[in-house]
Amino acid sequence: MALLAPLLRLVDIALPPRCPGCGEVTREDHRFCVSCWSSLTFLGPPWCAGCHMPFDFDRGPGALCAGCMAAPPAHDGVRAAVAYGDVARGVALKLKYGGRLGCADTMARAMMRLMPSDADLLIPVPLHRWRTWSRGFNQAALIARSLSRASGTPSDVELLRRVKATPILRGLGPKGRAKAVSGAFALAPDAQAILRGKTIVLIDDVHTSGATANACTRVLKRGGAARVILLCWARVLHDAEAD
């Protein structure tokens, strides 16, 4: 190792850590520069007891947002590290389309503080096999693996499968989104024995309308899961922000 030290120092000089948001040189990997860090809005309680939409102030235990009072979600809440915005969007796009696989670790580090204490299993939102083959990876699976290494909670990337290719949901209304993902997900043959009575943490990069999360949750709960909590990097707080 002593012999490698000079080489490692040269690598650090040639390839210094950079901000995941803008690329500015930083002191450590996965650290944001001051400007990007300041522009991120970190999410957490107080939030809706149903969907975990953040509240401006604590409304008391069991308080629900208007959306959950009108139509409760199938899942048991969405825990998002940050609100969707320019920096959060940029990091997600670098991972999904830019092949910057290290961004999965960046996201997972921010998501760890919201990991449910009773999590039994991490399951990424699956891509259809054609999408996985064309992209080369499933970004949610990369995040799930990183979270599994950090938390010690096992992950399973094969238990939940996308069996039907779905269109882009952007621009579709609630009914159109629900119809688009209907029948899109299925469980592996041995899934029920694994899921029975478990708290499942469903992993994704960005949470937008909730249609995909609800569709996945219904399949997992039919398979025996007791609770399904979505954990993601960023959450769209206003539908107009989604792109």
The CB density around residue 51, as the number of other CB atoms within 10 Å, is 21
| 6 — pLDDT class (breaks 50, 70, 90) | very low
Which CATH number goes with the domain that contains 103? 3.40.50.2020
Amino acid in position 158: E
- Tell me: do 30 and 60 sit in the same domain: no
- Tell me: do 26 and 118 sit in the same domain: no
- Tell me: do 28 and 126 sit in the same domain: no
- Tell me: do 147 and 195 sit in the same domain: yes
- Tell me: do 13 and 57 sit in the same domain: no
Its domain, for residue 2, covers 1-39
At 186, give phi and psi (nearest 5°): -150, 165
Q: Tens digits of per-residue pLDDT, 129-187?
A: 877 787 888 999 999 999 999 999 999 999 999 988 765 656 555 566 666 677 889 99
Number of residues assigned to the chain: 243
Q: How many domains does the chain have?
A: 2
Q: Tens digits of per-residue pLDDT, 81-92?
A: 999 999 999 999
Would the pTM of this model clear 0.85, i.e. be above it?
yes
On average, the pLDDT of the chain sits at: 87
Report which of residues 5 and 121 the model is more confident about.
121
Q: How far apart are CA 143 and CA 205, in angstroms?
A: 8
